[in-house]
Structure 1
Amino acid sequence: MSESLLTWIVFTPLIGAAAVLLTGRWPNLREAVSLITGGVLIAQVTQLISPVLAGETPSVLLAVPVPRVPL
């Protein structure tokens, strides 16, 4: 399983939220961005189904802000 996929799964909603804020003036475009973000996130998460059912535990280390406290 790819750590980059897990990273994208974490950051996709944040990118989508920023895009929604940027398109706030145009309601139809804002809704389209929301739906596209949701669809992309579903596609990403469905790629995790096989490895998880096979017994893998997905994990990614984003940062270690304090020694011995990984995020």
Structure 2
Amino acid sequence: MGVNAAVVGILISAFYQPIWTSAILTPIDFTLAALLFFMLVYWKLPPWFIVLTGAIGGALIAIF
């Protein structure tokens, strides 16, 4: 059971340092990430749709 907890901690650390700190820079970035998360977890939309929506949303954020 302790190994599972250690693995979860390592995965969270690996997610936070390279991904979160370089991708979430402004509140609008966080809003997009939260929206995509809810679309995947609560609305159960297909992953390909989430990726496509994230790419379009990221491009729109970069333009504006």
Higher helix share: 2
Pick the structure with greater CA Rg.
1
TM-score higher than 0.5: no
TM-score normalised per structure 2: 0.41
Identify the structure with bigger relative contact order (alpha carbons < 8 Å, sequence gap 6+). 1
TM-score of the superposed pair, with normalisation by structure 1: 0.38
